[in-house]
Amino acid sequence: MSIKPSTSRPALRPSSGTCIMAGAGGCELKPSNNPKNRHRSPMEAARTSPRCGAQTRSGPPCMAPAVNGKKRCRMHGGTNPGAPAGPANGNWRHGLYSREMLQMRRELNAARRGIRDMKVAKANSG
Ligand SMILES: [Zn+2]
């Protein structure tokens, strides 16, 4: 058995600066606290990734890895964007909080602020 210096053993590379295998013939560099350089194996990442919480037919949650940025796995709707927004779908009541209404209110409030500031400026000057 021969030890190749290049592939598959990044922890023993002296220039890495992130070695956590001090001693035992490894490097003598201390592990860095910088999260960017911290050694995190792919299996560690896989183990600690968010899990799907969908209830299975046997009772406990699914626990398959959730889709990035979602709470469910690919088999339990994690890749599904959901129903289209609008009066025909979802929890729609009256549209008071629809995207268009929120945008309109934002613009109206900005205009109101502008008028108020003009009044204040006029009162201060005159
Ligand atoms: Zn799932």
Q: Tens digits of per-residue pLDDT, 10-34?
A: 444 444 444 454 445 554 555 556 6
- The answer to whether residue 70 is domain-embedded is no
State the distance from the centre of ligand 1 to the C-alpha of 66, rounded, in angstroms: 7
Concatenating the DSSP letter of every residue in 23-84 gives: STTS--PPPP--TTTS---HHHHHHHS-B--PBPTTSSB--SBPPTTSSS-GGGTTT---SP
- The answer to whether residue 121 is domain-embedded is no
State the distance from the centre of ligand 1 to the C-alpha of 73, rounded, in angstroms: 4
pLDDT of residue 47: 86
| Number of structural domains in the chain | 1
Name the residue range of residue 36's domain.
Answer: 9-47
- The answer to whether residue 111 is domain-embedded is no
State the distance from the centre of ligand 1 to the C-alpha of 112, rounded, in angstroms: 48
- The answer to whether residue 26 is domain-embedded is yes
- The answer to whether residue 67 is domain-embedded is no
pLDDT at 73 over 70: yes
- The answer to whether residue 18 is domain-embedded is yes
- The answer to whether residue 23 is domain-embedded is yes
State the distance from the centre of ligand 1 to the C-alpha of 60, rounded, in angstroms: 11
Say if pTM beats, i.e. exceeds, 0.85. Answer: no
- The answer to whether residue 19 is domain-embedded is yes
